[in-house]
Amino acid sequence: MPDKPLQIYINGKYYDKDDAKISVFDHGLLYGDGVFEGIRSYGGKAFKLEEHLDRLWYSARAIMLEIPISKAEMAQAVDKTLAVNGIQDGYIRVVVTRGAGTLGLDPNKCSHPRVIVIADSITLYPKEYYENGLTIITVSTVRNHPAALNPRIKSLNYLNNILAKIEGLQAGVIEALMLNHKGEVAECTGDNIFIVRRGKILTPPNEAGILEGITRAVVIDLARAAGIEVLETPLTKHDVYIAEECFLTGTAAEVVPVVKVDSRPIGPGKPGPITRDLMHRFRQLTRS
């Protein structure tokens, strides 16, 4: 018997994957006008769901998009979408678009936001990235100026990140470091960045123009609980080059070591002890 097709939630109803469609007049498509979240599930339960929904609501508020259901209803939709698809360890994508409007920009002409929940299996990074660490480069694409499009808004307009990703891929790496308009370290295309110097963990602050990563917050808490000092402080490429360790955090990647940046080995060029300790703690938290 063929597998049952993936069931996609759109505005309260479930559709087979191939029938899950929205209008070509949706401003999410025409203008990237909308917001989204990427959430992991472990053992059939969405990880840090409340935090993700809070961020979704803040993103929506920042673009004056009213999500047509409550947070409790959204949480139920996420749980049910996991359940109907029988997803245990998976990835959930929640999308809210401005809805169908005219060909003009005016968001007021879009009256019905679309709420979409997709729960699918997750494609994990190969194991060797966690064992041996990633090689990344700094790209020339500057992270969005916060006064133009604040990186704190997780909007459907991800071209800034995609352009950086293209630069990285063309250079043969799968993740790339972006600087902000001041030349400071901001974040990677889909992950936050941390370094270790003299046993302390350093990471750019929100003011550097970054997405306030949920995994970033979890890792900061884990490190502090383990007695490791964490500072949110502006960083330059120089700080990264002289770091003892470097690692990235993100919903899909979890905690992944970085061993080379711009052809320079970080520390001894191997995943460091603090990174490995945090990877272990993160695993314990999510797999227990």
Q: Which residues contribute to the site for ligand PMP (CB under 6 A)?
A: 38, 161, 187, 190-192, 211, 213-216, 249-251
Q: Give the nearer residue to ligand PMP in terms of CB position, either 7 or 161.
A: 161
Please report how close the Cβ of residue 27 comes to ligand PMP at its closest, in angstroms. Answer: 21
Please report how close the Cβ of residue 11 comes to ligand PMP at its closest, in angstroms. Answer: 24
Both structure tokens of 17: 């994957």
Are the CB atoms for 75 and 83 separated by under 8 Å? no
Both structure tokens of 1: 């018997």
Please report how close the Cβ of residue 158 comes to ligand PMP at its closest, in angstroms. Answer: 7
Please report how close the Cβ of residue 37 comes to ligand PMP at its closest, in angstroms. Answer: 8
Measured distance CA(242)–CA(223) in Å, rounded: 21
Q: Give the nearer residue to ligand PMP in terms of CB position, either 203 or 215.
A: 215
Q: Give the nearer residue to ligand PMP in terms of CB position, either 216 or 281.
A: 216
Measured distance CA(199)–CA(182) in Å, rounded: 27
- Taking the CA atoms of the chain, what radius of gyration do you get in angstroms? 19
| Cα separations in angstroms, 277 against 6, 37, 193, 282 | 37, 27, 16, 9
Q: Give the nearer residue to ligand PMP in terms of CB position, either 38 or 267.
A: 38
Are the CB atoms for 255 and 249 separated by under 8 Å? yes
Please report how close the Cβ of residue 56 comes to ligand PMP at its closest, in angstroms. Answer: 11
Q: Give the nearer residue to ligand PMP in terms of CB position, either 101 or 151.
A: 151
| Cα separations in angstroms, 164 against 134, 139, 148, 229, 259 | 17, 6, 17, 31, 20
Triad 140, 134, 185: Cα angle to 5°: 40
Triad 220, 196, 170: Cα angle to 5°: 95
Q: Give the nearer residue to ligand PMP in terms of CB position, either 190 or 257.
A: 190
Please report how close the Cβ of residue 87 comes to ligand PMP at its closest, in angstroms. Answer: 18
Q: Strands (DSSP E) along 53-172, which ranges?
A: 90-97, 114-121, 134-138
Measured distance CA(122)–CA(82) in Å, rounded: 13
Q: How many residues does the chain have?
A: 288
Are the CB atoms for 11 and 115 separated by under 8 Å? yes
Q: Give the nearer residue to ligand PMP in terms of CB position, either 7 or 203.
A: 203
